[in-house]
């Protein structure tokens, strides 16, 4: 009788004979489990890398679309400044020349934006921040101040208001104090 047809305690379907505790199959089982876990971990890492890569590409596409939309907005701003210059050309030629110069600079900036991807824009912004940190700090400070003022104005406009007793335009008189008598007292000397 072969070992594969043997039945009873200690028989293994694979044909190996071992004792009731299976000391030789335990290391094989652990090795197989470790291999399976390693394969699962590799597959999960590969799936995560693929997902991150796809998400990154999608975000870059969206960013590039937003850069193009921003370039169009800047171009429209330049066109508006140019139209304002044309409107002022007959009344204030000095201001009109200043507006034409500003419009040209704005339109050139829009053209530069149109030719950049989101990665190139990020690199050029970082390079500008390294070259001119004082401008970046100034813009951040002014933006923070304006944001503070905007939020402060929004809070005071919607928050509870204190109503002064003088808000009606009348000043309290000496007789308006309830602790004083309402009729003057006269004492002859």
Condensed to tens digits (0 to 9), the pLDDT of residues 75-99 reads 999 999 999 999 888 888 899 999 9
* Domain assignment present for 178: no
Asked if residue 80 and residue 143 are part of one domain, the reply reads no
Of 86, 116, 146, which residue is a domain's last? 116
* Pair 75, 101 in one domain: yes
Q: Is 146 inside a domain boundary?
A: yes
In a domain, 24, yes or no: no
Tell me the pLDDT band of 11, cut-offs 50, 70 and 90.
Answer: very low
Least confident of 56-60, 71-75, 89-93, 153-157: 153-157
Q: Are 53 and 108 part of one and the same domain?
A: yes
pLDDT band at 136 (very low <50, low <70, confident <90, very high): confident
Half-sphere exposure of 13 (CA within 13 A, CB side): 0
Shared-domain flag, residues 97 and 141: no
Instruction: State which of 102-106, 111-115, 185-189 shows the largest mean pLDDT.
Output: 102-106
Same domain, 112 and 36: yes
Domain contains 22: no
Average pLDDT of the residues in 97-120: 88
> Residue 181 to residues 69, 171, 174, 176: CA-CA distances in angstroms?
74, 18, 10, 9
Note whether 66 and 143 are same-domain residues: no
How many C-beta atoms lie closer than 10 Å to residue 181's C-beta?
Answer: 9
List alpha helices for the chain, DSSP H: 25-88, 93-114, 118-131, 133-158
**Are 56 and 103 part of one and the same domain?**
yes
- Residue 125: the pLDDT is 86
Whole domain around residue 149: which residue ranges? 120-155
Q: Which of 161, 172, 49, 61 is nearest to 117 (CA)?
A: 61
Would you state the pLDDT for residue 27?
Answer: 78
CB 119 within 8 A of CB 60: yes
Question: How far is 68 from 166, CA to CA, in rounded Å?
Answer: 56
- Asked if 91 and 144 sit in the same domain, the reply is no
Q: Is residue 14 part of a domain?
A: no
Mean pLDDT for the stretch of residues 71-78? 90
Number of domains in the chain: 2
For residues 38 and 112, state if they share a domain. Answer: yes
Buried b (16+ CB within 10 A) or exposed e, 40-56: eeeeeeeeeeeeeeeee
* Together in a domain, 84 and 105: yes
More confident residue, 4 or 157: 157
7 part of a folded domain: no
pLDDT of residue 80: 92
Q: How far is CA 108 from CA 27, 59, 71, 74, 82, in A?
A: 71, 27, 10, 10, 13
Q: Are residues 124 and 51 in the same domain?
A: no
Would residue 60 count as lying in a domain?
yes
Q: Are residues 49 and 124 in the same domain?
A: no
Rounded to two decimals, the pTM is: 0.46
Asked whether residue 74 is assigned to any structural domain, the reply reads: yes
């Amino acid at each position: 009788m072969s070992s594969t047809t043997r039945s009873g305690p200690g028989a293994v379907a694979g044909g190996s004979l071992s004792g009731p505790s299976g000391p030789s199959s335990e290391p094989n089982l652990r090795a197989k489990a470790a291999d399976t876990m390693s394969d699962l971990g590799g597959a999960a890492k590969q799936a995560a890398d693929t997902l991150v890569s796809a998400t990154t590409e999608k975000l870059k596409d969206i960013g590039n679309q937003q850069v193009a939309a921003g370039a169009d907005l800047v171009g429209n701003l330049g066109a508006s400044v140019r139209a304002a210059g044309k409107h002022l050309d007959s009344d204030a030629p000095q201001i009109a020349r200043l507006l034409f110069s500003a419009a040209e600079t704005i339109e050139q900036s829009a053209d530069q934006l149109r030719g950049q991807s989101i990665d190139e824009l990020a690199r050029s912004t970082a390079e500008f921040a390294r070259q001119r940190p004082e401008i970046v700090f100034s813009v951040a400070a002014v933006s923070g101040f304006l944001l503070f003022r905007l939020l402060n104005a929004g809070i005071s406009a919607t928050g509870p208001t204190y109503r002064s007793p003088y808000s009606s335009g009348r000043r309290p008189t000496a007789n308006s104090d309830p602790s004083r008598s309402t009729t003057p007292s006269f004492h002859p000397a």
